Structure 1
Amino acid sequence: MPATYVKCLLDRDVPPPAVAGPVEGGRWGPAELDTGHWPMFSQPREPARVLRESAAAD
């Protein structure tokens, strides 16, 4: 099943171990947002854009 990992740049430097494998192995497509851990509150249009683009790519 296709998946996208959304990295919030103001959060952690590296993804948690459970996420790092699929992202680094290419199973999950990466996306980056210049926000903290809760982008749906700080920049609600950006996560919506990422979801739309991810859905269109599949």
Structure 2
Amino acid sequence: MDRIARAICQEKCAFLGEPPCWDRTYFPGEPWPNPDCDEPGCMAIAEAVAAALLEAGKP
């Protein structure tokens, strides 16, 4: 789940011209997942993706 969320985060942040919020090079000491992430957050989207993949029968 974490890898999916980080990939989603990276793409969302790149779209906004920002580094991913999980990258501690740019955000030292910030928590992951970021509690200030726009809703739905990257973790919520990752959970939806994982559920859809399981439903489709893909590991």
Q: Note whether the superposition's TM-score is higher than 0.5.
A: no
Q: Which has the larger radius of gyration?
A: 2
Which structure features the higher share of helix residues? 2
Higher strand share: 1
Output the TM-score relative to the length of structure 2: 0.37
Q: Give the alignment's TM-score, normalised by structure 1.
A: 0.38
